[in-house]
Structure 1
Amino acid sequence: MDPSELISRRRLLVAAGGLAAVPLLSACNAGSSGQSSGGKGMVTITVMFGVNDLPKAMIADFEAKNPGIKISLVQFEPARLNAMIASGNPPDIAIGAAVGSANTNARGLATDLTPYLDKSQTLRKDDLQPVNDNFRWGGGKIGQGGYYGIVKDWSQDATLWYNTALFDEAKVPYLSDTEPTPYDELLAIAKKLTEKQAGKTKVFGLGLEWAWSLYGPMTTMVLQQGAQIYSEDLTQVDFTTPAARRAFGWYVEFARAGVGPTSFNPLPDGSDQSTFSAKRMAITQDGYWFGGNFVTDKSMAGSLRMAPAPIMGDKRVSPCYSGQGAWIPEKAKHKDEAWKFMEYFMAGPPAEERAKSGWGIPSLKSLLPKLPQELPYQKQAFAVAQNELKYATILPDSPYVTMDAWNLTLDKHLQRAIKGDQPVDAACAAITTEINKLLKQGKEQIG
């Protein structure tokens, strides 16, 4: 996925928080009466995607292959999506992130796609990458039960990309292709790679995409230590455990070391990519998709490498922080036709082209061989990504609080801790209190 998609994901999570007032909808089976045209006449489906996700040529190709269906593209906009769902007139299919979908699924706003998957010859459950488990919901938990969405492409977002030329200049050994770098060691390496001049940072040693996600990386650190942040029923959180305090404390140390951007010194465009491309950042924590930036950037391709997700503890965990995909609202008027578009978009020509581009790992196992390996850095990244798949897992996701709320809360207390206004223990206690308050409110709203 590209940076705009991750930014869109954050906007979608804000919108998800606004769905709290929407009542729980009654369930109905996929393909039930009244949900499709029944094969009679022309049907127009409303598709709420980003314009870049669905170019005109793709729309024309789908319509040519499905002469009974027309597409009406509506630009994805969280506020508009929220209003359409609240009015009972949602789009027939909408873009959305798998991680964070528990909120929508628990409210009964999404269609269970399992009956469609069971019948499909194009999209098969046994071909789905495990990242799709983030779209599953059942028994009050993610990762089990029905599928309420399908991921289009994804990455294990804790992995690292680095510039070997900057490593060479600093006389720092390259990162391993197969073994994870401990977080404490990574910070020490970042300090060696950071270059300051006249009181300003000329080269950042490490970028964490701070503006995009704090919940994902910190929760990963906790899981790597064999701990959890949520209670079994996802209604309470404990961020005061030794594992959580260690993760939070590492971020405080990172910020105080001045080796990378934070919310105190954010990058102008909110993304590591341009700074990394300008050779002013030695390492960036980004998923496989990041390599798509450099297919035509010949100045970087020769010094670009990917490394496994770093580790804090003894357990290798390498999750996806977003997993952009699509879902069909429960009150969609043309579910059968929307599913035909889902099959086309997720397993047809668009999916093959996405895989060939290298902008993310395909959602289907059968498309993995289509990932690009023409350039040296692409071959190296492909091998790293293939090995990393063994450690893919899903992040805990409670329906009672949004990822955006988590990120805002974590950043607020990180800033206070970094400035010395509160110690790490007090910050983690405050986070626990504030998130538990939000969880209680969310639980009361859903019931």
Structure 2
Amino acid sequence: MNSEITRRRFLARSALAAGGVGAVMSGCDAGTSGSSPGGGSGGGTVTLTVMYNNNELTKEHIAGFEKDHPGIRIEFIQAEATRLNAMLASGNPPDLVRAAAVGSANTNARGLAADLTPYLEKSQILRADDLLGVNDSFRWDGSKIGQGPYYGIVKDWSQDATLWYNTKLFDQAKVPHLSATEPVGHDELLAIGKKLTVRSGGKAQVYGLGLEWAWNLWAPIMTMILQQGEQVYSDDLTKVDLTTPAGRRAIGWYVEFGRAGIGPTSLNPLPDGADLTTFLAKRMAITQDGYWFGGNFVKEAALQGSIAMAPAPVMGDKRVSPTYAGVGAYIPAKAKHKDEAWKLMEYFMAGPPAEERAKSGWGMPALKSLMPKLPQELPYQKQSFQVAQEELKHAAPLPDSPYVTNDKCNSVIDKHLQRAIKNQASVEAACRAITDEINKELKQGKEQIG
């Protein structure tokens, strides 16, 4: 479970190359390789430098790949943003890089990622017609995401606005269970969270609602705005406006949540920065987490009978249930060993590791062909599978500007939410300040990228 907490917390920071400079070439090899689909190796052993998380691309996975590809050796580097940016700046990028689909616009606009479409067109293992729509966030047509060539492939994903809850805590508070088919409204969810919160000595002993505040603010706020039928960015992706009715409602909801004290915030953080431990301890009634969260309960027999999943809440009339990340990988544009990196991409995204991930329930597969592999043996797994399958009908990509990183937006929003929660600023003032600061970042990003 600890490894998954680490994995999931990293999602909010998974645009590793954001803010970096363009790569020039890769130089940690022991051989040569062609750089076009099917070009093949020039002979000898190729050392493929891979930057990923070791709890995702494991030693066993690496051993299996090297056994199947005796001419390729993997040099593994633990994913770390500072190191990646240094490698890119020095002209020495890895051959394969861990990254999220959401937020990839910045990487693509900088020309850091290779176009994978020619590989997809020739591959018999990893095919474009088998890719689920979540992969569209890795597409880039030169000005926006969602269409054009593929610049990355998703490993696994979840619709992260969905809810997991403890039915026994609902029963103790005499609160009706959440529907498995109809989404709860955000305002009603806030009211339910207040009813479920248990206090003693002025402190919350049981939190009514957790939002994984430490992981992401910008993505769920964008979701709220889209659900109200408004756009987040201007058409050219250079401006935002959080002072609109939809923006004020979303920010105001977060302020009310923070003032109510019904869940952790950056003003009242959890020691480990994640909801899981508190949820497992039966000290949190609801947590906003994706399908992947259910993987935590496979060995928690005492909890399995009181765990259920519910659809993403709505703010407005439009159901929008996105992924906040969609972690996968890209091949740097200047990588020397693109062909070998693609072979690893095929193995990891569509081979034995992909089937293993699907069967484990740690997230949904990014391939249509692997969706039936999701576990349904335990009652809670069957229930969450059904909810997740229905939720797929409302999947939609989040907007993504190449001119600002999600991390920057998160930090700006958190700063001003704190001030509003502490009554140092009104909701309206917070919305104006957030708008001004993000737009300043967007302007700077536009000037840098051109």
Q: TM class, shorter-chain normalised?
A: over 0.9
Counterpart of 1:48? 51
Deviation sequence 1:14-64 (CA, Å, 0-9, x none)? x53441x44899xxxx96469965352221111111111222221111111
Secondary structure at the counterpart of residue 257 of structure 2: helix
- 1:404 aligns to what SS in structure 2? helix
TM superposition shift of 1:71: 1.0
Q: Deviations over 1:96-147 (max 9, x none)?
A: 1111111111000000101101111111111111111111111300111111
* Structure 1 spans left out of the alignment, 5+ residues: none
Q: Does 1:213 align with 2:212?
A: no
Alignment CA distance shift 1:73-1:83 (3 Å): same
Counterpart in 2 of 1:444?
A: 447
Residue 373 of structure 1, CA deviation: 0.5
Q: TM-score, with normalisation over the residues of structure 2?
A: 0.95
1:204-248: CA deviation from partner (whole Å, max 9, x where unpaired): 000000000000111000000000120011011111110010000
Residue pairs, 1:292-311, within 5 angstroms: 292-311=295-314
Deviations 1:333-390 (A, max 9, x none): 1000000000000000000000000000001011011001011000000000000000
Q: State the shift of 1:12 in Å.
A: 3.8
Aligned to 2:356: 353
Q: 1: CA distance between counterparts of 2:295 and 2:200? A: 31
Moved over 4 A (4+): 33-37
d(CA) in 2 for partners of 1:235, 1:185: 34
Query: Following the alignment from structure 1 to structure 2, what is the Cα–Cα distance between the partners of residues 413 and 319?
Result: 25
Name the CA distance, whole Å, in 1 between partners of 2:17 and 2:152. Answer: 15
Instruction: Tell me how far apart the structure 2 counterparts of residues 93 and 145 of structure 1 sit (CA, whole Å).
Output: 21
Provide the aligned C-alpha RMSD in A: 1.7
Equivalent-residue separation in structure 1 for 2:409 and 2:139 (angstroms): 21
User: Residue 288 of structure 1 aligns with which residue?
Assistant: 291
| Aligned residues of 2:23 and 2:91 also touching (Cα < 8 A) | no
Counterpart-to-counterpart distance in 2, 1:430 and 1:158: 26
CA distance in 2, matches of 1:22, 1:345: 26
CA shift, 1:70, in A, is 1.3
Check if 1:16 corresponds to 2:35: no
Q: Distance between the aligned counterparts of 1:235 and 1:198, measured in 2?
A: 48
Does the CA-based 8 Å contact 1:2-1:289 persist in structure 2?
no
State yes or no: 1:375 paired with 2:384. Answer: no
Q: Matches of 1:245 and 1:313 in 2, distance apart?
A: 13
Query: CA 1:426–1:35 in structure 2 vs 1: closer, same or farther (change >3 Å)?
Result: farther
Distance, in Å, in 2 between the alignment partners of 1:24 and 1:231 is 32
- Give the 3-state SS of the residue equivalent to 2:401 in structure 1: coil
Match of 1:178 among 181, 193, 207: 181
Matched residue, 2:28: none
Amino acid at match of 1:426: A
SS of aligned partner of 1:296: coil
Aligned equivalents of 2:146, 2:199: Cα separation in 1:
45
Name structure 2 gaps, 5 residues minimum.
Answer: 26-32
Structure 1 residue 83 displacement after superposition: 1.1
1:337 aligns with 2:340: yes
In 2, distance between residues paired with 1:84 and 1:415?
36
Task: Give me the whole-angstrom Cα distance separating, in 2, the residues matched to 1:353 and 1:130.
Answer: 21
State whether residues 5 and 324 of structure 1, in contact with CA within 8 Å, keep that contact through their aligned partners in structure 2: no
Q: Secondary structure at the match of 1:53?
A: coil
Match of 2:71 among 52, 68, 71: 68
